[in-house]
Structure formats: C-alpha cells, structure tokens
Structure 1
Amino acid sequence: MQKNRRIPIVLFPLVILLVPLIAMQFTNEVHWTITDFIIAGGLLFAAGFAIEIVTRKIKYKAYKLVLLVAIFSVLILIWMELAVGIFGTPFSGN
C-alpha cells in the first residue's frame, strides 16, 4: 500500500517536467538547462514528499489543510522567484 502512494509522488513531477522539455523541441522561447530541470525536479519532489508526510501523519483536518496550503504557497513563491524574480533576490538571476 505504501508503494502505491509514492508512485504519484514520483510520476507527477516527471509529467510536469515534460512540459518544458517538449516545449523546447518546438520553440526557442523556452530554454531550460539541465540545472533548471534539476532544481525544478527537486522542488516538486520535495513538495510531493512533504504533502505525503502531512497527509499521512497529521490527523486533524484543519491542521492538515493549513499545512498543505503552506507547502503549496512556499512551492509557488519559490518557483515564481526563480522564474521571474518577484522578490529581486540573487537566486532569480537578477
């Protein structure tokens, strides 16, 4: 049963990472390096495993919802910062 729960955690980030990989084949506007794929994959896998831990360990629905929203929010904020530099940190390449 545990293995079956981890399959989507592994497959979902891989499917998401296929989008820029396929887009790079058809347009020059998408240009990801291997580092971009590694960082994005790491973020997605970390978020997936964090979501798995929260859904498995936390019993109270309210706490679970708050933690899941927090994980998703942190993922989106880091992704936006790395993509376009909304905060202007050196991590965005500015």
Structure 2
Amino acid sequence: MMTTKQKTTLIFAAPALLIAAAFFGNNFVEGWNWSPFDFIIAAVLLFGTAFFVNLVANSKKNFVSKLIICSVILLVLMLVWAELAVGIFGSPFAGS
C-alpha cells in the first residue's frame, strides 16, 4: 500500500521527468526548438495538472469519482497542449 507522501511524489515526478526529457531533447535533437518561455508554459501546465490530480487523489471521494475527475483534468490538459502546439481550434492564444 502506498502512503500519501509516496503518491504525491509519484504524481509530481511525472511532470518533472517530462520537462527533463524536453530539455534534453531540445539540446540534442535537431529541429526541436523550444524557447525558455515554452519550458515555462509546459511546466505550468504539467505541474498545475499534477497539483489538481493530487488534490483529487487525496480527496475523500470514491474511486470512480476520482477516476472521472482525473480523466477530465487530463483531457483538458491534452486539449490545451494540442491547441498551443498546432492550433486545432484556432483560438487567439494558439499563436495563429
């Protein structure tokens, strides 16, 4: 059985690893061209998502409710990330 501290560490380790992978990819992969602002936006999105998932995971709700809420949080992350990456909805903050 995992403790709350172990769950929190695991939840926040995932975005840290993704940011680290992006950093190394930016340095070693040709064609990967993230600016410091891109890293800041990615960190805010990923760690913000981890914060809300951790908040839901530590709540007193039943498992199904937690699963649904976390799925919605992750879906919102994916939609915002895709919009920022390629502008699939054509919103003003997509850069188009």
Classify the TM-score, shorter chain. 0.7 to 0.9
Percent identity reads: 36
Query: What's the counterpart of residue 21 of structure 1?
Result: 23
Q: Which has the higher contact order (CA 8 A, sep 6+)?
A: 2
Q: Do structure 1's residue 44 and structure 2's residue 40 form an aligned pair?
A: no
Question: AA paired with 2:66?
Answer: K
Distance 1:25 1:91 in 2: 26
Distance 1:81 1:25 in 2: 24
Question: AA paired with 1:8?
Answer: L
Query: What's the counterpart of residue 34 of structure 1?
Result: 36
Gaps of 5+ in 2: none
Distance 1:77 1:21 in 2: 22
When the two structures are superposed, what TM-score results if normalisation uses the length of structure 2?
Answer: 0.85
Distance 2:84 2:23 in 1: 18
How many aligned residue pairs are there?
Answer: 94
Paired residues of 1:9 and 1:45 also in contact (CA < 8 A): no
Distance 2:80 2:18 in 1: 16
Paired residues of 2:15 and 2:47 also in contact (CA < 8 A): yes
Q: Do structure 1's residue 55 and structure 2's residue 29 form an aligned pair?
A: no
When the two structures are superposed, what TM-score results if normalisation uses the length of structure 1?
Answer: 0.86
Question: AA paired with 1:70?
Answer: V
Distance 1:10 1:42 in 2: 12
